[in-house]
Structures are given as structure tokens and as C-alpha cells.
Amino acid sequence: MIRPLLLSLALSASALFTAAAHAGPLYTQAPVEPNVGVAWTSQYRVNDGGWRTHDDFTLAGNASVQRVTWRGIYLGNDAAGQTIDGVPNTDTWTLSFSSDNAGAPGGLLYTSTVAAAQVTRIQSPDVGYFGSLPVTVYDFSLDLANDFDALGGTHYWLSLQSTVGAGAWSPAFVWTMGEGDAAATSYQQWINADTSVALGVERAGNRAFALHGEGNELPEPASLALIGLALAAGAFARRRRVA
């Protein structure tokens, strides 16, 4: 009866190694709720200009990012100029990864612009609050056409920017806040009409997003124990065959 058990243990160890090499979530900054926190605009209007917001991250190990999820709201203005809850008006999304340059976004490493229809948008069943204003909260998800290969221990910046046609600035997409300590910051750039960067400024708070894909993360301690048991059982079986 020992051989089936050894085979089962060996297969379990193999499956654990495989699962460890194909992780799901790679990095997460969960959203604050129900108040969306300090939120920053990230929207460009064609032939006019706008804002582009970034947030930084560092992965523990090498990984291939295959999917990005994020949370946001849309804010507009009524006839009196008061801020109101807005209806999504994004035409295209531009997702970018950049290197770090002394604590600010540096050189562009990866960029992809897709139609809004290619991004999954799910409305949260819960009402959010921008200050005291009730707002509709949306969760977005994009599967990347090509993986972004990130190096562990390297400082990167992620940007998610909504683009709308001329004359359609309001409402604007606003990237909501993610969990983090009081010193956490993000970064916002003003984009000229020709899409060049006019200026950049550090902003308060993390952004709400998560990265998913394949990475070489270590198994949990319990998994390591099971792998060790399988290897020990395999060695015991070999000794029995030699004897």
C-alpha cells in the first residue's frame, strides 16, 4: 500500500510546484470604501489635453503581468458648476508601465491603447462617497494583449488613462484611492493637447489596482512541508528497492 501513497505524494508535490509558478494575484492595493478617498483625475480630451495619473509598485519576484484591474468613478458638473456623479464616457483606455526616475515615472516600458469595449466594466452594487457626494463605483479589468515582464525588486509605475473625443471632457474618469500608509503617494501629470507632458506633481494616497499573471513565488509553509514529505517518501522508496 505504500507505493500508491508515494505516487500520490509525488504528484501533489509536482502540482504544488506548478501552482507556485503560475500565481494569480501578483500585487494588490485594495480600494478604500465606502468613501473612495483622495481620488485623482486621469482623462485626456482629444485636441485639448488633460491629466494622467500613475501609481508605483514593486514585485517580490520576477513575473509576467497578464491582467490589470482597477477601480474608479466618473465626476461631472451640473449647470450651476456643482460636482455630480457622472456617466462613463471613455472612448479608449491607455494602460502604461514606466520605469522609475528618482521617485517619479521615467521611461515608457509598455503601453497599450484599447477601445473601451475591450475593458470589462462592472458597476459595484454598493454606493460610494466622494466626500459627502454619493457616486457610482466601477471596477475595471483588462487582459493584456502582450505580457509585461517585470523584474522582482524593481520599482515600476502603472498608468491608466481614459480618453474622450473633442468636446466631451465632462464627466471625467477619476482613479480612486487604494489602501496604504499615511505617507503613500501617487503621481499626476498634465498632458498637453499634443499629448506631451507639461508638468508632473506628487499626489497623496495610493491608487486602487491589482496585477495578475504568472510569477515564481514560493509556496506557503504548509506546502513546503508536504513537498518535503513527498521527497522523503521518495527517498525511502528508493532505499527499499535497493535493499
pLDDT digits (tens, 9 = 90+) for 208-221: 999 999 985 434 44
State whether 172 and 203 are in the same domain.
Answer: yes
pLDDT classification of 119: cutoffs 50, 70, 90: very high
Pair 164, 242 in one domain: no
How does strand 185-191 pair with strand 49-58?
A: antiparallel
Q: Between 226 and 76, whose confidence is greater?
A: 76
Number of domains in the chain: 2
Q: Are residues 142 and 104 part of one domain? A: yes
Is there a single domain that holds both residue 175 and residue 80?
yes
Note the pLDDT tens digit of each residue in 96-115.
999 999 999 999 999 999 99
Which DSSP string corresponds to 106-164?
EEEEEEEEEEGGGSEEEEEEEEEEETTEEEEEEEEEEEEEEEEEE-TT-EEEEEEEEEE
Mean pLDDT over each residue of the chain, to the nearest integer:
84
Please check whether residues 17 and 115 belong to one and the same domain: no
Residues 4 and 89 in one domain: no
Q: How confident is the model at residue 199 (pLDDT cuts 50, 70, 90)?
A: very high
Least-confidence region, from 12-26, 77-91, 174-188: 12-26
User: 200 and 240, same structural domain?
Assistant: no
Query: What are 47-63's pLDDT values in tens digits?
Result: 999 999 999 999 999 99
pLDDT tens-digit profile of 13-50?
333 333 334 449 999 999 999 999 999 999 999 999 99
Q: 201 and 89: one domain?
A: yes
pLDDT computed for residue 2 by the predictor? 35
Statement to judge: residues 46 and 130 lie in one domain: yes
- Is residue 13 located within the same domain as residue 122? no
pLDDT at 12 over 90: no
69 and 1 inside one domain: no
% pLDDT > 70, the chain: 79
Domain, as residue range, for 208: 27-216
Higher pLDDT, 14 or 78: 78
pTM of the model: 0.79
Say yes or no to pLDDT of 230 above 80. Answer: no
Q: Are residues 197 and 104 in the same domain?
A: yes
Share of the chain above pLDDT 90, in %: 74
pLDDT of residue 136: 98
What confidence tier does 167 reach under pLDDT thresholds 50, 70, 90?
A: confident
**Alpha-carbon span 40 to 28, nearest angstrom:** 19
Question: H helices then E strands: how many in the chain?
Answer: 2, 17
- pLDDT at residue 18, as a whole number: 35
Q: What is the pLDDT of residue 156?
A: 98
Q: What is the pLDDT of residue 216?
A: 52
